[in-house]
Structure 1
Amino acid sequence: MKKQNNNSEEQIYVGLDIGTTKLAMVAGKQNADGKLEIIGHEVSTSKGVRRGTVINVQKTVDGLKELKTRMLNDFGIDVGVVNLGIAGKYVESLNVEHSMMRKNPRIMITEQEINDFLETVNHMLKQPGKEIIHLIPQEYTINDESGIIDVIGAVGTSLKCKFHAVVADMSAVEMLKNCVTMADMDIANIMLEPIASAKAVLEEQEREGGVVLVDIGGGTTDIAIIKDDIVRHTCVIPFGGEAITEDLKNGLSLLKDEAEICKLNYGNAIPADVNPNDVIAFQAMKNFPTREFSLKAISEIISARLTEILETVNYEINLSQISTPLIAGIVLTGGGSLIKNTTQLASYITGMTARIGSPNHLLSHDTPNTLLSPQYSTVIGLLLNAIENDKYKFSQNNKLNDTKIAAPQEKKEKKRKFDIFGNLSNFFD
């Protein structure tokens, strides 16, 4: 995708987040200061996705086509290729290891040898109905020397590596891909969403020291545990902020919009922090009487579900079996992290420090305020990964070279490769 301006061409990149509650598309480039400059962005309500899984193809395709059209009308960007995030109950992770005897132990290990080694592991892991999204080396062992991160240039008789693999149900992945292609866009790259979010909100020292990234989205809560700048563990929990909204809706007999307002504007993760005498009034429908609800009751419902989510996070932290402390604690992001006192509840349940993470430090000073919210961490991370990874620049012979950024149109009345070589340098440049 190129931007034409006074006979000069400018390369831009697009991140696409197909979520349970929203569809988000952001186009941008890296400016001279190394910051991410946003060229265009569009967001709309997601109507065809549940818990990260496409359940209605037509509604999802229609939503993506609307985003594509609005991006052209509002910003002059004709989107041809996107960098896509993936997260859903169909995604799982596992740890594996593989070893081999080298043919020429006196010759230094080359990048090509490692690539061939990883390709072999990729083929070994293939299962019917499964697609490998990431294969992330954890550490190598040469002969009997373990804990090696970079083996290029080393010599030895035997080579072994431990991996963290992310796999997904192939039919669900194909459904997601088909929605994008049916909306007249190609896919340059697919990335697990918590890894994208981690790229957007974590500082280098946090990734080195050890950190748990928790992205509380609408349909899922996504986890990435990172230590020594390597993704060590990932998980997708099949419920998130939407479950809290449903709990409020059913528990208090509210309309969904009212429940969402309660959650975002009056919610509190710690009921003890709420005055039991404080109430909020709602008129559910026209001609219906106004009803009052206790803010403490609202908080108790929210806290119950958030506690379940964060206890599952704590279980996954223990499951990861990382032997050394994660000294940077927990970084919460996503829309669900905006509920008042969520960080305090996370600290209470896990015994770790917690903060809210947003991509502010990566973005140029003129970034729209909307995109500074934790809700957009994933799509910003997808965009950033596309820019930094040379593999996804526009030298490829694909639709990107054919699409252009037109001059912005006058607003009218609205009618209304997979990368198996997944070491961390591909994620955190």
Structure 2
Amino acid sequence: MNFKRVLLAHVVLLAGAFAASAQADDSLIKQGEYISRLGDCGACHTLPGKPAFSGGLAIESNLGTIYSTNITPDKQHGIGNYSEQQFSDAVRKGVLPDGTHLYPAMPYPDYAKITDADIHALYVYFMQGVKPSAEQPPETDLSFPFSQRWGMRFWNWAFASDEPFRPIGGATAEVNRGAYLVESLGHCGSCHTPRGIAMNEKALDSSDSRFLSGGSLNGWEVPSLRGLPNWTEQETVDYLATGRNDKAAVGGEMTSVIEHSTSWMSEADLKAISAWIKFTGGHPPAPAPATQAVSATEAKLTAAKNLTTGERLYLDNCGACHFVTGKGAPRIFPQLDQATIVNAGDPTGLIHTILAGAQQPSTAKAPSTLAMPGFSSRLNDEEVAQLATFIRQGWSNKADAVNVEQVKEVRESLKK
């Protein structure tokens, strides 16, 4: 009788241990899934209509087209045979188990700062929480000499770093959480940090003033994130969570980032990123708008007399949403006066938006999708140039004029 009781007690203890282990694994899988959102893995490795993380995205670079890989736990086509150390080396060093070097379209120079704990959770999620897929993405086949992947070891030696994340001395825990997110998993520097002649990020952490000081991506001018003097911390949170705030609406490559990554972040992490941005400063307070110039533009558009071609095109095509004030409607239509995309040195982003339109993503906190139509079939190149020039020089904007050749170049790129 005593033996049966002892045996039953062991069975109960083992059952409890297995249940606790399963619960721990479930918790770790959920944590890893959240970290995959922070790292924006889905944006590059998941195509619409294809299994999650099965790869195949064509990434255009100065070297040629690079295709994202299958990172499901499929043992033949994915990463199912990777050990955790091999997984870590691929993510943080850009080196596959067979020694093949990845191209830095995979942002391993930033991912190098991911902590061991986050790598572990990420590994558990991909091995246990993602369904295997036998999808075989196209092979990346760059022209010589870029096809010689062994050369990446020298690039890594010169431009990558295996330094772990270093907290900012004197900063709050919230600011340092934000710094960790933007420097590592968020890989914000891959777009918002200027690049050198070898396509390397010129800075990899907050200690360098060049980090997140702005750059260029596929012809679009990418703004600096240091300070964001025109936005409050809450406006930054709103933008990252929904793709819109009282001043702006998302466009270009950032649309995918918000859809797949930042809109899934916790409120605490969004606030941490916003706190880090304000902590960095980097810019003096934005100058007050030129009141006289703003009033003059508003008055002329309101009177609708003796209009230039650009002004007439604005009233006919843009005024209903952005109004004669150029202020738009908070959280619905973005403002044009003092907007970053309008005043960028390179007008490609503005021209692209006029021609192709834009659509905000549907997110949990802002499920409605608001779309701006494209005007490529309605306006010719000369008209687009005139319209863009007015927008860049109306109200308090003071950007350079746009010419027909710039419009033609963007229009041609849309046909590819």
Q: TM-score range by the shorter chain?
A: under 0.3
Rg larger in 1 or in 2?
2
TM-score, normalising length: structure 2 = 0.22
Greater length-normalized contact order (CA 8 Å, ≥ 6 residues apart): 1
Question: Would you tell me which structure has more strand in proportion to its own residues?
Answer: 1
Question: Would you tell me which structure has more helix in proportion to its own residues?
Answer: 2
TM-score, normalising length: structure 1 = 0.21
